[in-house]
Amino acid sequence: MSEAAQELTVSVWRGDARAGAFQGFRVPRFDSQTVLDVVSWIQQNADPTLTYRFACRVGMCGSCAMMVNGVPRWTCRTHVSKVVEAGALTVAPLRNLPVIKDLAADMDPFFEKWAGSVHEPSASRDDEIAEIRPDDPKRAAASSAIECINCAVCHAACDTVAGNPDYLGPAALTRAWTLFNDTRHGGDVLEVVSGAGGCHNCHSMASCTANCPNELDPMSAIAGLKRATVRRVFRRD
């Protein structure tokens, strides 16, 4: 940024679950400005009734994800200079989720899909701790989702979720893949992901993998689940 005179034209989604429309704002440009800075500037200087969600501002908490120019992103880690198009930005709540108000999406449907993929311990504190070698292939595969912070960017990017709201989606399925590879997990995750909304609905479009801010690979994890669920039918293991 050379001149402070420059301004951004920002379209922000305003509304609730029933109705809404984009509202225009003019926001001054700053050096190293993030999209979250832009939204905060509007809330602090133009319209204090603007509702949005954030917490850590450093890409740790996963609460500030929004649609920026039609792409799901962490707003706190997205520099304006990277995404601005002809001096304009469009900011909307995450796709594939109901809207609570303005930029705050309702995360309940997203987290409800994780319900089947909750850790169930296979041992109690009285048992020996299971020995798991760091270089064990299953342990390595389990790492694929350990860095997931539940930001729902992949969920918003997924066109299969858009067409089929019952589909568990990339985040919950990647979590299931980690549990499947976790020898200390006592539950039967393969049956959870084999139902009508399960992993077999994935069309491998890879929007999840392409958009994940943590560079995780949900599409390959889901392919792993497909293989494991089918192998169980034919090999009974």
* Binding interface with other proteins (CB under 8 A): 70-72, 157, 159-160, 163-164, 166-167, 194-198, 200-201, 203-207, 210-211, 217, 220, 223-224, 226-227, 229-230, 233
Output 29 or 198, the one with its CB closest to other proteins. Answer: 198
Question: Cα angle at 156 between 171 and 118, to 5 degrees?
Answer: 20
* Residue 121 or 195 with smaller CB distance to other proteins: 195
Minimum Å distance from CB 127 to other proteins? 32
Smallest distance, other proteins to C-beta of residue 112, A: 18
Q: State which residue, 26 or 82, has the beta carbon closest to other proteins.
A: 82
Closest approach, Cβ 91 to other proteins, in A, equals 15
Q: CA 84 to CA 68: how far, in whole Å?
A: 9
Compute the distance between CA of residue 23 and CA of residue 45 in angstroms, rounded to an integer: 15
Q: Cβ of residue 200: shortest distance to other proteins, in angstroms?
A: 4
User: What is each CA distance from 98 to 25, 109, 111, 156, 162, in whole angstroms?
Assistant: 24, 8, 13, 11, 12
When the beta carbons of 55 and 210 are compared against other proteins, the nearer one is 210
- Helices then strands, counting H and E runs in the chain, come out as 10, 7
CB closer to other proteins out of 42 and 68: 68
Please compute, for residue 12, the number of CA atoms within 13 A of its CA located in the half-sphere on the CB side. 26
Whole-number minimum distance, CB 221 to other proteins, in Å?
11
Closest CA to 230 of 199, 208, 197, 185: 199
